[in-house]
Amino acid sequence: MEAKKARGDIILYSVLSVVGIIFYVFIIPGQIYLSKTASAEAFSPDTFPNAVTILFVIASLCGLALAIYRYRKAVQLEGKPQKDTTPRTRREIVGAFMPFIVFALVLLYVILFMYVGFIPATVIVPPVILFVIGCRKWHYYPIYYAFAALMYLLFRYILLVPIR
């Protein structure tokens, strides 16, 4: 069982390392403009994002090395992980896709936010997310709406950010 978990960690840390490298090489230089005078300074506009990205990649690589070590150790103790051949229930299958469903709902929220505005998107999508992840306590829903209303009032009337 430990080998299977370590194998998942190897995949996760590999993906995080690649994403960090992509950010460092392509996204940060493409999104942060540096004038000649700014690039000559010791601290330029890209210093902090680059530093954070380098730390992120280092942490990911350390996690990857640790996961590889744990995988090798678990394989020595348990042997290679075997594929589970027991049939999965419908609930287990839906549970495996739950992160993708929630991610799709978050994307839907972003799209609705851009095209119809904060209020309709916030009224519709987050309660659906709560329902999908299994929140059945009814009092969480009014708490969510109260928090959303508080955020609206804060941004609209105190910070003077126009929200539609």
Give the C-alpha separation, 4 to 32, whole Å: 40
pLDDT higher than threshold 80 for residue 44: yes
What is the structure's pLDDT at 91? 80
Tens-place pLDDT, residues 52-85: 999 999 999 999 999 999 999 988 988 776 777 7
**Token pair 């709406």: residue:** 145
Classify residue 32 by its DSSP letter: S
**Is residue 38 assigned to a domain?**
yes
Is-contact 5 75, C-beta < 8 A? no
Give the C-alpha separation, 157 to 161, whole Å: 8
**Is residue 117 assigned to a domain?**
yes
116: three-class secondary structure by DSSP: coil
Q: Could you give the number of structural domains in the chain?
A: 2
Domain range for residue 132? 90-158
pLDDT higher than threshold 80 for residue 143: yes
Give the C-alpha separation, 161 to 30, whole Å: 28
Find the mean pLDDT for residues 24-44: 85
Among the three residues 24, 49, 78, which one is the final residue of a domain in this structure?
78
For the beta carbon of residue 123, count every other beta carbon within 10 angstroms.
Answer: 12
**Is residue 84 assigned to a domain?**
no
16 and 62 both lie in a single domain: yes
6 and 67 both lie in a single domain: yes
Tens-place pLDDT, residues 99-133: 899 999 999 999 999 999 888 999 999 999 999 88
139 and 73 both lie in a single domain: no
**Is residue 96 assigned to a domain?**
yes
